[in-house]
């Protein structure tokens, strides 16, 4: 899977088109499609990665998308207040405990 394929997959998961991503990340019409055969410039790749909330390394080299989701959650948590982070952690713990109970059945 190349950079373009990973971006397309992320767009599909987020319910946006490549064209919409290009507009939102201000990289120019048709730029991302060209990345299926050429290497992207660092500044444009960085804007796309930031918009999609993934690392540039993930877009270029791939990796475990589940790990990338976890890193994205962690990045999003950084902007939350301490109280909201605690609430989110409590929610995750509750969901995890519930999943553990389901597995035991």
Contact 35, 3 (CB under 8 A): yes
The answer on 54 and 8 residing in a single domain is yes
Whether pLDDT at 81 is above 80: yes
Q: Which pTM value belongs to this model?
A: 0.64
Under DSSP, the state recorded for 42 is H
Task: Write down the H helix ranges in 1-105.
Answer: 3-14, 18-24, 31-34, 42-52, 56-61, 65-77, 82-104
- Number of domains making up the chain: 2
| CA neighbours closer than 13 Å in the CB half-sphere of residue 99 | 6
Pair (70, 82) in one structural domain? yes
Task: Find the CATH number of the domain harbouring 12.
Answer: 1.10.260.40
Domain of 85, in residue numbers: 65-104
Q: Read off the pLDDT of residues 48-80 as tens digits, 9 standing for 90 and up.
A: 999 998 888 889 888 766 676 777 777 778 788
């Amino acid at each position: 899977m190349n950079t373009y394929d990973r971006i397309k997959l992320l767009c599909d998961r987020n319910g946006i088109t490549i064209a919409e991503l290009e507009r939102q990340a201000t990289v120019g019409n048709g730029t991302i499609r060209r990345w299926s055969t050429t290497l992207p410039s660092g500044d444009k790749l960085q804007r796309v990665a930031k918009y999609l909330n993934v690392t540039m390394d993930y877009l270029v080299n791939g990796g475990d998308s589940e790990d990338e989701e976890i890193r994205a959650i962690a990045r999003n948590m950084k902007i939350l207040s301490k109280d909201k982070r605690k609430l989110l952690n409590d929610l995750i713990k509750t969901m995890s405990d519930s999943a553990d109970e389901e597995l035991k059945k």
